[in-house]
Amino acid sequence: MGAIPKGQEELVAAFREGKIGALARAISRVEEGREEAFSLLETLQAPDADCWRTGITGPPGAGKSTLAAALARAWSEEGRRTALLAVDPSSEVTGGALLGDRIRMASALESDGVFVRSMASRGSLGGLGQAVGAAADLCASFGFHEVLLETVGVGQAETDVASQADLVVVVLHPRSGDGIQAMKAGLLETADLLLVNKSDTQGAEATARDLEGALDLVQDASSRPPVLCCSALDGGGMGEVLGALESLRENLSEGGALEDRRMARSLARAQCMVGDGLRRRAWAEGGLEARTRRLLDEGVLSDRAAGEVLEGALARLAEVPS
């Protein structure tokens, strides 16, 4: 456990007393991405906390938030305290009615004791993956048993977020073509469980069959994620969804795969930070920008200059003791 960072004594005390406002403030520190956030994380860390991190990803409108709410309610009823970290860049553009929906849903969940936090800022130290991973750590230390990470399944930042989960659930619309889209977006490879949501409407079963077909193309039988139909809205099939998650967790814990995943998660988060730091600092402060400019001034083509600068930087890195 690290020393309590200066100026954070009151925050640390309130966090340890279980004040939810302190958790929210601690997450803001992490999002702001200042160095002192690391000492705060060290001080508050609880590596042995009993906490599962479940990623929920898929296209906009598939029902990720609705599913997250349904899971959060089910777990809360079992006495498992649940936090929902929603990373949904589309929430900024939808506005209007949808935004109203979101706020209503968030406040209904909060009154059930679910902690809801939306995260949009990229953070400045290691991007969104680092910020969300750190926020999940804080929720675990605070005493939450379940952390849901909701993210739209597009783009690198969102993939970084999914890599911070123990298990990933992919939620799809019940319409033909969604399975193929998901395959193209690489979603099928990251899924531990595939859900065709909105089974109260038409086409869910057919979409599930399409998905099974798409899975035949990308995965062998032993590593195929289960495909289920459900309605997050009216609760249909939710018992099966909860049961499937439970047995996936058992398999992960028994085979030692969970430790591997958690190591991969730490590595991925460190990679986000190192990558981000290198890009920012080596480029501007480490002189890579200046060197590239010199080459461009000499008439070297941009891509060629990049190759030379990269090789030079890697050669210098190789001299750093590992």
Ligand X SMILES: Nc1nc2c(ncn2[C@@H]2O[C@H](COP(=O)(O)OP(=O)(O)O)[C@@H](O)[C@H]2O)c(=O)[nH]1
Q: Does 198 bind ligand X (CB under 6 A)?
A: yes
| 88 or 160: CB nearest Mg ion | 88
Buried b vs exposed e over 90-127: b needs ≥16 C-beta within 10 Å?
ebeeeeeeeeeebeebbeebeeeebbbbebeebbebbb
Given 61, 89, 226, 287, the residue binding ligand X (CB under 6 A): 61
| 313 phi, psi to nearest 5 deg | -65, -40
Contacts of 2 (CB under 8 A, 6+ apart): 39, 42, 43
Q: CB of 198: closest distance to ligand X in angstroms?
A: 4
Residue list 56-115, contact with Mg ion (CB under 5 A): 64-65, 88
Q: Using the rule CB under 6 A, is 242 a contact of ligand X?
A: no
φ and ψ at 146, to 5 degrees? -135, 130
Beta bridge partners of 118: 86
Shortest spacing between CB 243 and ligand X, in angstroms: 18
Residue type at 14 in one-letter notation: A
C-beta closer to Mg ion: residue 65 or 163: 65
Residue nearer to ligand X on the CB measure, 227 or 232: 232
Q: Which stretch binds ligand X (CB under 6 A): 46-54, 194-202, 220-228, 293-301?
A: 194-202
Instruction: Give the per-residue contact string, 7-46, with ligand X (x = CB under 6 A; - = no).
Output: ----------------------------------------
Q: Please tell me the number of Cα atoms within 13 Å of 179 on its side-chain side.
A: 24
Determine the Cα–Cα distance for residues 91 and 168; give it in Å rounded to an integer.
21
In the complex, the smallest distance separating the C-beta of residue 307 from Mg ion, rounded to whole angstroms, is 41
For position 251 contacting ligand X by CB under 6 A, the verdict is: no
State how far the Cα of 158 lies from the Cα of 150, in Å rounded to an integer. 9
In the complex, the smallest distance separating the C-beta of residue 210 from ligand X, rounded to whole angstroms, is 18
Are 139 and 15 in contact, with CB atoms under 8 Å apart?
no
Strand positions, DSSP E, 61-218:
82-87, 115-118, 146-152, 167-172, 193-196
Q: How many residues does the chain have?
A: 322
Q: Which of 85, 232, 51, 226 minimizes the C-alpha distance to 161? A: 85
Residue 150 C-beta: closest distance to Mg ion, Å: 6
Q: Which does 197 bind (CB under 5 to 8 A by kind): Mg ion, ligand X, none?
A: ligand X
List the single partner that 190 binds among ligand X, Mg ion, none, CB under 5 to 8 Å by kind. none
| Site track 127-146 with ligand X (rule: CB under 6 A), x = hit | --------------------
- Please count the residues of this chain forming the interface with ligand X, following the rule CB under 6 A: 14
Cβ proximity to Mg ion: between 106 and 252 the closer is: 106
List residues binding ligand X (CB under 6 A): 60-66, 197-198, 200-201, 231-233
List residues binding Mg ion (CB under 5 A): 64-65, 88
